[in-house]
């Protein structure tokens, strides 16, 4: 029985770091585990230009703990008004590792997102030509569509037609949550890949309502059924390089989680790698962990794996930590679902 595993240092291919005091409070948790991260651009206001991305990158670097080599990989927030020539210029200086599509109104801080995919076709044309990936929040926003079907409907309504029009556009289908999405990605060629989060490997929609309504299990896309979770676990542990880790760690102040209209987003950075390791162990696939966390994503983004390693150990008793911490005046809660966690990083 494995009780310890050493893997190439992982990367986080989908991360929300926020800014200011929140950034300062959450970054050390990520920097301790991950070598690099794709940093989501949904600040208020969003990161839409090379200058904004460069300034944000500098703030992240400045917030790193002493001695940390953590490397933020910047992204651009796509809007109806994004100028294709700006993306071309940004590519020339390698300012962005991806351009993020948030359908307007689909999730937290997505008000400036794209209102119709056709509006950004000229930008996608340039992206396809230059090989810069489109990172996709794959949910429709139609209020008539059941919230648990929004990812599946997005595939039919947006992704399939988009793929027809842009056969060689690199697409990362972010934070998959349903079996239909897994099957879709499996069906595609090498231009379509996907990230999977720790929480979607652990939760089902039952967790949202277990023992009463639980906003700390609420993120978008929302967790789905047991069958969907099984498909995600199979995809993640399959050794198929189309699937890799993106934590979607998304901190919010407790006051914004515990209110009417609670914000979507789960802050999982501290427990993320432990839960992923635990899922791989329970599926009997620990030897495939490293590919999912540390190799496949780097390969897709054209980068080498990190040059260092981390070690995780399995404890006899569940992992415990201070689940609440301060970010300036605010408190933030760490992802601590009903499933006890046994794996943790060895310092
Ligand atoms: C994210 C956030 O809070 O920024 N929320 C979430 O529920 N995942 C945005 C996102 O990735 O959808
Ligand atoms: Zn996200």
pLDDT digits (tens, 9 = 90+) for 237-272: 999 999 999 999 999 999 999 999 999 999 999 999
- How far is ligand 2, taken at its centre, from the CA of residue 277, in Å? 21
The pLDDT assigned to 257 comes to 98
- What pLDDT is attached to residue 347? 84
Residue 2 pLDDT grade (very low, low, confident, very high; cuts 50, 70, 90): confident
Ligand 1 pocket member 217 (CB < 6 A) = no
**Ion ligand 2 residues within 5 Å by Cβ:** 248
CA of 197 to the centre of ligand 2 (A): 10
The answer on pLDDT for 178 being more than 90 is yes
Closest C-alpha to ligand 1, atom 5 = 265
Residue 113 Cα, ligand 1 centroid: separation in angstroms? 13
Regarding the beta carbon of 109 and ligand 1, being less than 6 Å apart is answered yes
The Cα 158–Cα 162 span in angstroms is: 6
CA 81 to centroid of ligand 2, rounded, Å = 22
| CB of 281 shorter than 6 A to ligand 1 | no
Tell me, in angstroms, the distance from the centre of ligand 1 to residue 214's CA.
16
Q: Is 86 among the residues known to form the active site?
A: no
Using the atom order of ligand 1, give the atom closest to the CA of residue 42.
4
Of the candidates 80, 187, 248, 316, the residue annotated as catalytic is 248
What is the fold of 4-345? TIM Barrel (3.20.20)
Return the ligand 1 atom nearest residue 137 CA.
12
- Verify whether ligand 1 is closer than 6 Å to residue 120 (CB atom): no
Give the start-to-end residue ranges of the domains of the chain.
4-345
Ligand 1 in reach of 16 Cβ (< 6 A) = yes
Task: Output the pTM of the full model.
Answer: 0.98
Ligand nearest to the CA of 252: 1
With a 6 A CB cut-off, is 248 part of the ligand 1 pocket?
A: yes
Whether the pLDDT of residue 70 is over 80: the answer is yes
Mutate to test the pocket of ligand 1, among 140, 194, 198, 248 (most ligand atoms within 8 A of CB): 248
3-state secondary structure the chain: CCCEEEEECCCEEEECCCCHHHHHHHHHHHHHHCCEEEECCCCCCCCCCHHHHHHHHHHHHHHCCCCCCCEEEEEEECCCCCCHHHHHHHHHCCCCCEEEECECCCCCCCCCCECCHHHHHHHHHHHHHHCCCEEECCCCCCCCCCHHHHHHHHHHHHHHHHHHHCCCCCEEECCCCCHHHHHHHHHCCCCEEEEECHHHHHCCCHHHHCCCCCHHHCCCCCCCCHHHHHHHHHHHCCCCCCEEECCCECCCCHHHHCCCCCCCCECCHHHHHHHHHHHHHHCCCHHHHHHHHHHHHHHHCCCCCCCCEEEEEECCCCCCCCCEEEECCEEEECCCCCCCCCEEECC
- Mind listing the pLDDT tens digit for each residue in 71-120? 999 999 999 999 999 999 999 999 999 999 999 999 999 999 999 999 99
Q: Is the CB of 220 under 6 A from ligand 1?
A: yes
Residue with the smallest CA separation from ligand 1 atom 3 is 265
pLDDT above 70 (res 221) = yes
Contact 159, 138 (CB under 8 A): yes
Indicate if ligand 1 lies below 6 Å from the C-beta of 219: yes
109-155: per-residue pLDDT in tens?
999 999 999 999 999 999 999 999 999 999 999 999 999 999 999 99
Closest ligand, as measured to the CA of 216:
1
Using the mean position of ligand 2's atoms as its centre, give its distance from the Cα of residue 46 in Å: 13
pLDDT confidence band for 34 (50 / 70 / 90): very high
pLDDT band at residue 1, thresholds of 50, 70 and 90?
Answer: low
pLDDT over 90 at 274, yes or no: yes
């Amino acid at each position: 029985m494995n009780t310890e595993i050493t893997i190439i240092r992982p990367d986080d291919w989908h991360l929300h770091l926020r800014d200011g005091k929140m950034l300062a409070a959450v970054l050390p948790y990520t920097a301790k585990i991950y070598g690099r991260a794709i940093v989501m651009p949904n600040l208020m206001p969003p990161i839409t230009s090379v200058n904004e991305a460069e300034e944000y990158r500098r703030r992240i670097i400045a917030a790193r703990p002493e001695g940390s080599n953590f490397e933020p990989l910047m992204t651009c927030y796509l809007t109806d008004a994004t100028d294709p020539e700006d993306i071309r210029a940004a590519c020339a200086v390698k300012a962005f590792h991806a351009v993020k599509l948030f359908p307007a109104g689909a999730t937290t801080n997505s008000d400036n997102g794209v209102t119709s995919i056709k509006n950004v076709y000229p930008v996608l044309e340039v992206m396809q030509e230059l090989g810069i990936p489109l990172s996709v929040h794959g949910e429709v926003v139609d209020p008539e569509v059941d919230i648990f079907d929004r990812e599946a409907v997005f595939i039919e309504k947006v992704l399939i037609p988009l793929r027809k029009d842009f056969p060689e556009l690199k697409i990362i289908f972010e934070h998959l949550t349903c079996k239909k999405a897994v099957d879709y990605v499996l069906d595609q060629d090498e231009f379509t890949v996907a990230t999977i989060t720790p929480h979607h490997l652990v939760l089902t929609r039952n967790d949202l309502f277990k023992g009463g309504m639980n906003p700390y299990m609420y993120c978008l896309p929302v967790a789905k059924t047991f069958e969907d979770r099984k498909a995600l676990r199979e995809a993640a542990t399959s050794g198929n390089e189309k699937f890799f880790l993106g934590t979607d760690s998304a901190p919010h102040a407790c006051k914004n989680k515990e209110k009417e209209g609670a914000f979507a987003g789960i802050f999982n950075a501290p427990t993320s790698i432990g839960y992923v390791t635990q899922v791989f162990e329970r599926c009997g696939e620990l030897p495939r962990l490293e590919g999912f966390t540390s190799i496949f994503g780097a390969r897709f983004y054209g980068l080498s794996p990190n040059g260092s390693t981390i070690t995780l150990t399995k404890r006899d008793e569940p992992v415990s930590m201070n689940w609440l911490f301060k970010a300036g005046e605010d408190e933030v809660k760490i992802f601590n679902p009903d499933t006890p966690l046994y794996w943790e990083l060895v310092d």
